[in-house]
Every structure is written in C-alpha cells, then in structure tokens.
Amino acid sequence: MAKRKSKKGIGPLLILLIIILLGIFLFSGYKLVSTMMEYRKSEAEYDDLRNLTEEGEKGNVLTAEAIAAGKFACPISVDFDALKEINDEVIGWIYIRDVDISYPIVKGADNDYYLHRTFRKTYNFAGSIFADYENASDFSDPNTILYGHNMKNDSMFGKLDELVEKEQDVEEPYFWILVPGADYCYEMFDMQRVDPFDEIYTLFHGTDETFVQYAEKCAAESSVELPVPQFSTDSRIITLSTCTNDSKARFVVQGVLAGVVRHSGSGSAGSGNAAESGDAAGNQDAGGSQDASGQTKDSSVKTDSSADEYSEFVTRNE
C-alpha cells in the first residue's frame, strides 16, 4: 500500500518574506500619499499667495527693441505690503512668463531654513524660492543667486529646464524680479548644467574686469544659443539654480539686468511708470569693496543720474 505524501505548510522563511514585502508595499504607499499631500499643501499655499498679485494687460512679446525704447512693462504687479504681513523676510517676486513661474522670494539667515520651509514658514519639502544668505537683499550685488527645488509636479523651479527643451523657440528670453517700488527686467544669456561647486556660484563684492570675464565665460558656455550682452563692471546678474535628476549636477539660468520699471507705492504699478533700459539702471557706487578673492580694493565707478536714482531707491528699501 502506497504511502500518502504529507502536505507541507508554508515555511517560516516564506512567511517572513511575505511580511517584509507587504511592509515595503505599505511603507511605499504611505510615502507616496505623504508626498502627494505635501505637494498639494505647497500648491495651495502658493496659489493663495498669487491672489496678492494682479495681472495687467497682455502685451506683446518683450523684445530688446522695446526695452531699448523704454516701452515695456511687467505683466503683473504685487502687493508687497500684504506679503510682508505674512513674512517680513520677503525681498521680491520672480516672474517668468515662458514657463509660468511666479513666486515670492525670501532670504533667511542661512541657506538651510527655506530649503524645506514655505513662505509661511511651515515645513514642506517644496520649500521656497530663496536668495543666497550672503547676497544683499536689494538685488544690488553683481551676482545674486536664487535657489529653488526642481519638483516632480513642476512647481517651484520644476519648469526651469523647459527653457532648454525650447532651445531656439524661447519666445521671451527675459524674466522679472519685482521689488517694492520697481520691477527689474533681466535678459537671459546662459542656460547650462554645472557642478554644485562650479565657479558660476561665485559671489562678488565689488566688480572689476574679473567679473566681466566671469560673465563672458558663463555666456560662452551656455548650452542654448542666446544673444550675448555687452557686459561691464556695472552689470547686475541673477543666477537661478535648481537640482537635476543627477545629484552631482545643477541646472542654472542666468540673466543680466536689461531695464527697470519704477512706480510709486509698495504694491501695484501706477499709471506714472517710468522705464529705464541698459546697464546704467544697475550702476551703483561700490567704493572700497572687495573682489571675488576677498581682497579689498577701490572699485569706485562713476554714476549717471539713473544710477543715482537706483542708489536712492536701494537706500529707501533696505
């Protein structure tokens, strides 16, 4: 008579494996849900802040000719009084029409605080758009660096690299930095991937030919062919920086100040707007400053009337 084979139950190792896999699945699901909730909280907060901006008339695509003629205006205005009631560390607002980027800019005591804190100072991985803590708060430095996360839902600086994808189809190679009393228009001249410790992140305290050479080098290394401005020691640059899918690389977009629209009041632009074009709008007296190597030197520059007005504006809004 044949012996019946005994049925073997599920072994303890297999049970343990199932438990581990189930745990991984549940944890992954939890992390996914948590991330989506973080995204939604961040989006809701910044959507609410955009209610403090007002869109003007949809004008034509901004061109160098319009800036040279002084016939240009920022498409939006910002209520900075209301923003400062929420966070007094706000220093401006960035607006890039081509990729729909529109956010307040803050500056903290270091470069860590706003990395994962929103404008309302609540913890959120999306963080804020913030200026390097070593930069001046009035965007008067030769090179002001703004940081923002490259979020998977395209928020913050998540759409910044779309400018490269557009390549020659960048409709409007300009972006705006709005501050109380003025709107600064910057012409893009550089888009590229760089090392996190690349010299592109150099902060200058005063300018000389070293700064001009730096700007020309950055423009020459751009991965997108853009018009190269005539840089001078009076030029003012904004460097936008975000992370990439490579932890050893960053993506940057640089723009040089091309024109300024001034207006009365701390919020919306009034009907008496005055537009200024050219680097002269960014001139300032930088006597007794330091160069990039930290050596103190006399870098005084002669300023014209528009430069004097800029200096007075900076003084009023420090």
Residue 128 inside a domain? The answer is yes
Q: With CA atoms as reference, report the closest residue to 92 among 73, 112, 119.
A: 119
154 three-state secondary structure: coil
Q: Tell me whether residue 193 is in a domain.
A: yes
> Model's pTM, two decimal places?
0.76
- Asked if 203 contacts 138 with a C-beta cutoff of 8 angstroms, the reply is no
Examine residue 203 and state whether it is found in any structural domain, yes or no. Answer: yes
CATH number, domain at 188? Answer: 2.40.260.10
Cα 140 to Cα 7, 148, 242, 287: the distances in Å are 80, 20, 22, 14
| 191, two tokens | 């888009």
| Per-residue pLDDT tens digits for 162-181 | 888 765 566 789 999 999 99
pLDDT at 92: 98
Least confident of 52-61, 90-99, 123-132, 306-315: 306-315
Residue 298 lies in a domain: yes
The fraction of the chain above a pLDDT of 90, given in percent, is: 54
Q: When comparing pLDDT for 315 and 74, which is higher?
A: 74
Question: What is the model's pLDDT at position 294?
Answer: 30
- Domain range for 272 is 32-316
Specify if 19 maps to a domain. no
The answer to the question of residue 195 being in a domain is yes
**pLDDT higher than threshold 90 for residue 14:** no
* % residues pLDDT > 70 (the chain): 74
pLDDT one-digit tens code per residue, 213-237: 999 999 999 998 899 999 999 999 9
Q: Please indicate whether residue 36 or residue 13 has the higher confidence score (pLDDT).
A: 13
Total number of domains constituting the chain: 1
